[in-house]
Chain A
């Protein structure tokens, strides 16, 4: 059975929490964006100190601008740009904004997954 626990925080608390964690000597492991459907998203912040993990959860709807923590934790730079590419999330205050060309062609259309649909198919059997 999982003993995963994440503390729920509001959008306004993201930066103050990150600052508190940074000052307390916690390392940012990563962020996880979760598409909960119906235009609802969750963003999890994972921190670590001496191999102990701490998680924070923020819930919001599509189109909400999320405050970036990349000026506090430079390591957040990559994951926030990745979330911009793959989940269409918007961040305010990114220290280096790739403008949705982090993984994607600079000249191409921005792929705003999950709106970009991935599909798999099975080839029909060909009778010989």
Chain B
């Protein structure tokens, strides 16, 4: 049969960012997918060698708009470990609170976009209405809705008052109630199941062999979550990775939805256990040596490699984002899919191209 090549993206109604796939089709069936990147490559790793290591916090926050504070947290951990800085315990709990709020609003953003991708407009709006409450918390506690610039080397720059924490707890209770209804609506809906169950199946073996990360990996049955490394205050918080076993679009959706509830639970636990104390340790001198550090971003494991030579400027900052890891699995699950399912399948890896290209 004659093959035709059609471009998917970089401008496409379901893509918030410019991902371009060249799809080879036989009739309506995809037989091959080749990525074409480079639309938002900014050379941020190159910029790292020309910025003071403390200025780099602002740069890594802009690697990704949606999980800005988690990038900063990972980078700060690298520098803090290299400089043997002991971050105050209160700061570690505060980092967990803001990072879990980030995870919740990122997943809600994705769930809304996903509902929109198969035409479920009212669900899209309902999910984003809930998300607004998280954005309001961010604005009230950190001054910004998206770029929550609270991390500094040595700790955090902002504190949460007891009133603010109580207000967060109250908001979380409301959101949980609203989301419980939406969860039942979304996951039991005939049309949602029709578009997602059995589509874009990534087997357990494939997910591991292709280096998948985050909900894409856990949706295929792997109980791996970088938060199990017990960085920051996660050593004092109870949680287990959210796992689904079918490996299809429905499984990945379910993992993300359940992780929103998990994030709220972690915020509640963190608020319950946060100790009094300092917000940041004093930082003196320059970092030296090399280190890797991993944290769990909403899209999966985020990996940083930092090498410093004792000067003000890092010698190398390497950032491996979860979408970068999830593109090879995407290329493996698209062949065999119908063209109409490509937008839905592509969205289920929650592609963040700004992260991927840096």
Chain A interface (Cβ within 8 Å of chain B)?
A: 1-2, 4, 22, 25, 27-30, 32, 34-35, 44, 46, 50-51, 53, 55, 73-75, 77-79, 86, 96, 101-105, 113, 118, 120
B interface SS class: mixed
Within 8 Å CB of A77, what residues of B? Answer: 328
Judge if B50 is at the interface, Cβ distance under 8 Å.
yes
Whether the Cβ atoms of B50 and A120 lie closer than 8 Å is: yes
Whether the Cβ atoms of A46 and B38 lie closer than 8 Å is: no
Within 8 Å CB of A74, what residues of B? Answer: 209-210, 328, 332
A114 smallest CB distance to B (angstroms): 8
Whether the Cβ atoms of A30 and B318 lie closer than 8 Å is: yes
Q: Mark B310-336, 1 if CB is under 8 A from A, else 0.
A: 000001101010001101100010000
Q: Which of A29, A53, A55, A86 interacts with B320 by CB under 8 Å?
A: A29
Within 8 Å CB of B301, what residues of A? Answer: 29
Whether the Cβ atoms of A2 and B291 lie closer than 8 Å is: yes
Whether the Cβ atoms of A118 and B292 lie closer than 8 Å is: no
Whether the Cβ atoms of B328 and A51 lie closer than 8 Å is: no
CB contact under 8 A between A27 and B305, given known A2-B289, A102-B37, A102-B38: no
A73 to B332, CA, bound (A): 13
Whether the Cβ atoms of B34 and A118 lie closer than 8 Å is: no
Whether the Cβ atoms of A4 and B46 lie closer than 8 Å is: no
For chain B, residues 221 to 250, give those with C-beta under 8 angstroms from any C-beta of chain A: 224, 226, 228-229
Within 8 Å CB of A34, what residues of B? Answer: 307, 315-316
Interface centre among A1, A2, A46 (most CB of B within 10 A): A2
Judge if B65 is at the interface, Cβ distance under 8 Å.
no
A109 smallest CB distance to B (angstroms): 14
CB contact under 8 A between A53 and B328, given known A96-B34, A118-B46: no
Within 8 Å CB of A120, what residues of B? Answer: 47, 50
Chain B interface residue count, CB cutoff 8 Å, equals 40
Whether the Cβ atoms of A103 and B316 lie closer than 8 Å is: no
A52 smallest CB distance to B (angstroms): 10
Q: Which residue of chain B lies nearest to A105 when distances are taken between CB atoms in the complex? A: B38
17 contacts between A and B (CB under 8 A): A1-B84, A1-B289, A2-B81, A2-B289, A2-B291, A4-B291, A28-B211, A29-B301, A30-B318, A44-B305, A55-B292, A74-B209, A75-B328, A78-B327, A78-B328, A120-B47, A120-B50
Whether the Cβ atoms of B211 and A1 lie closer than 8 Å is: no
A73 to B329, CA, bound (A): 11
Judge if B165 is at the interface, Cβ distance under 8 Å.
no
For chain B, residues 267 to 321, give those with C-beta under 8 angstroms from any C-beta of chain A: 289-292, 294, 301, 303, 305, 307, 315-316, 318, 320
Q: Which residue of chain B lies nearest to A28 when distances are taken between CB atoms in the complex? A: B211
CB contact under 8 A between A78 and B303, given known A27-B211, A29-B211: no
Query: What 5 A-B pairs have minimum CB-CB distances, sorted nearest first?
Result: A75-B211, A103-B38, A30-B320, A2-B291, A32-B318
A128 smallest CB distance to B (angstroms): 28
CB contact under 8 A between A4 and B289, given known A32-B305, A34-B307, A46-B303: yes
Interface centre among A46, A77, A103, A104 (most CB of B within 10 A): A103
